[in-house]
Amino acid sequence: MQTVKTCSNCGGEGKVIKEPCPDCKGKGKVRKQVRIQVSIPAGINDGQAITLDGQGEAGSKGGPNGDLHIVVHVKKHSIYTRKGDHVLCNIPITITGATLGTEIEVPMVDGTKEKYKIPEGTQTGTSFTLRGKGFKSLRGSWNGDFIFTVVVQTPKKLTQEQRNLLVELAKTMNEQPPVKKRGFFG
């Protein structure tokens, strides 16, 4: 019975280094940390990779360096969410602003503010779109949209005067309490 195994002295290279380098111990490579500046393109998505040619590990036996692959993880934001190239967010407005209409300043991702006129009678959950104000597309020259949804905030505390005014308003509108609907079985 015969077995074949790699030589423990030369590692299958066919040569033995008599005086190996103290740093690499004859392997021909040394590990070191390197700082590389990377330009992250605008509009990159979570999980996408950037490849830097020739910036990876040294090649074996004097070969060229490999490529460095960087996987990008985009940190979640407390206000904005993302859907493709579109930016989504909720904007609170007052009950009077929703009822009478108002002009609001919408905070954009880049720190600027856009003015937008909210029409009278706007209900909570209504969405509005600012075309081309979203993220830049990586595959083209267009930008996504900025879509915001208004959330009408009902006041929790009222002064007596505010309460009286709302009672008078309710009388003029002939408001009725909601009618309970019956379910499937009664």
The structural domain count of the chain equals 2
pLDDT at 123: 93
Three-state DSSP state, 27:
coil
- Which residues pair with residue 83 across a beta bridge? 86
56 and 118 part of one domain: no
Is residue 177 in some structural domain?
Answer: no
pLDDT in tens, the chain (186 residues): 777 788 777 767 777 777 777 777 766 677 788 888 888 887 788 888 888 888 888 777 677 888 889 998 888 888 899 898 899 999 999 999 999 999 999 999 888 999 999 999 999 999 999 999 988 887 778 889 999 999 999 888 989 998 888 888 888 877 666 566 666 665
Read off the CATH number of the domain in which 138 is found. Answer: 2.60.260.20
The per-residue DSSP string of 103-166 comes to: EEEEEPTTS-EEEEEEPTTPPTT-EEEETT-SPBPSSSS-B--EEEEEEEEPPS---HHHHHHH
In the beta sheet, which residues pair with residue 102?
118
pTM: 0.65
**Residues 68 and 89 both lie in one domain:** no
For residue 152, being part of any structural domain is answered with: yes
Q: Give the domain extent around 136.
A: 81-156
Are 50 and 92 members of one domain?
A: no
Q: What are the φ and ψ backbone dihedral angles of 149, each rounded to 5 degrees?
A: -115, 130
